[in-house]
């Protein structure tokens, strides 16, 4: 976690290096994707979740306490819901706890670690593009799984490529090994004899 006193995104302007880094992160935030995510989340969770003010700060404020995210992930599980308790709280640690419950459930659902945002990315507004990435990955999985829990336009998210398992018989495997062996060609009789690279080194 960041040390105390590190410039937070919502604590006024940061200067020098951290400001450049923050601007670069902010530039990855996609307003078009924001609209799709907002539309999807409100369809998925129902009208009770409302809609945020347009823009990054509104998006962050909307999701910051973790409740909407928890409702979202619960809505994607056909059976038992992974987040047992969804409770809005004004206390920071409770909000962060709610976000991390969402993250654990999203991992259970199949979102890879590389697509996961960190709690501070959302709560402190450090990297809202990462939050978008996690939600997009979640949307893609929901569309791909076709469990009947996805509410939205299937074209909003890319379908993930499904693992394509092939079962080969032992005979096919043996035949394959022979082909590979022949493709490699022969190296019988090959040696480095007579090979020279450039001019010999002059020893003075």
The predicted-structure confidence for 82-117, as pLDDT tens digits, reads as follows 999 999 999 999 999 999 999 999 999 999 999 999
Task: Give the pLDDT confidence score for residue 177 in this predicted structure.
Answer: 60
Q: Is 114 exposed, middle or buried (0-12, 13-18, 19+ CB in 10 A)?
A: exposed
Q: Rounding to the nearest 10 degrees, give the CA dihedral for residues 120, 121, 125, 131.
A: -140
Give Cβ neighbours of residue 64 (< 8 Å, ≥ 6 apart): 95, 122, 123
Contact 29, 128 (CB under 8 A): yes
Task: Give the pLDDT confidence score for residue 20 in this predicted structure.
Answer: 76
The list of the chain residues with pLDDT below 70 reads 1-17, 21-22, 25, 161-202, 204
Task: Give the pLDDT confidence score for residue 19 in this predicted structure.
Answer: 73
Overall pTM > 0.95: no
Domain 16-156: homologous superfamily in CATH = Calponin-like domain (1.10.418.10)
- Domain-by-domain residue ranges, the chain? 16-156
Task: Give the pLDDT confidence score for residue 134 in this predicted structure.
Answer: 96
CA distances from 45 to 82, 110, 149 (A): 15, 20, 11
Task: Give the pLDDT confidence score for residue 187 in this predicted structure.
Answer: 55
Tokens at 64, concatenated: 């910051």
């Amino acid at each position: 976690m960041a040390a105390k006193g590190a410039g937070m995104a919502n604590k006024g302007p940061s200067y020098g290096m951290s400001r450049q880094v923050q601007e670069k992160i902010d530039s990855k935030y996609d307003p078009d994707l924001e609209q799709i995510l907002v539309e999807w989340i409100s369809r998925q969770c129902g009208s009770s979740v409302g809609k945020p003010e347009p823009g990054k700060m509104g998006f962050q404020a909307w999701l910051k306490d973790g409740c909407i995210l928890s409702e979202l992930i619960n809505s994607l599980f056909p059976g038992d819901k992974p987040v047992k308790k969804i409770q809005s709280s004004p206390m920071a640690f409770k909000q962060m706890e709610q976000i991390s419950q969402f993250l654990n459930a999203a991992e259970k659902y199949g979102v890879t670690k590389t697509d996961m945002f960190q709690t501070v990315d959302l709560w402190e507004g450090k990297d809202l593009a990462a939050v978008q990435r996690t939600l997009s990955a979640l949307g893609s999985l929901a569309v791909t799984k076709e469990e009947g829990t996805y509410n939205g336009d299937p074209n909003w998210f890319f379908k993930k490529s499904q693992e394509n398992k092939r079962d080969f018989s032992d005979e096919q495997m043996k035949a394959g090994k022979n082909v590979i062996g022949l493709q490699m060609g022969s190296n019988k009789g090959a040696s480095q004899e007579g090979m020279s690279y450039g001019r010999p080194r002059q020893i003075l």
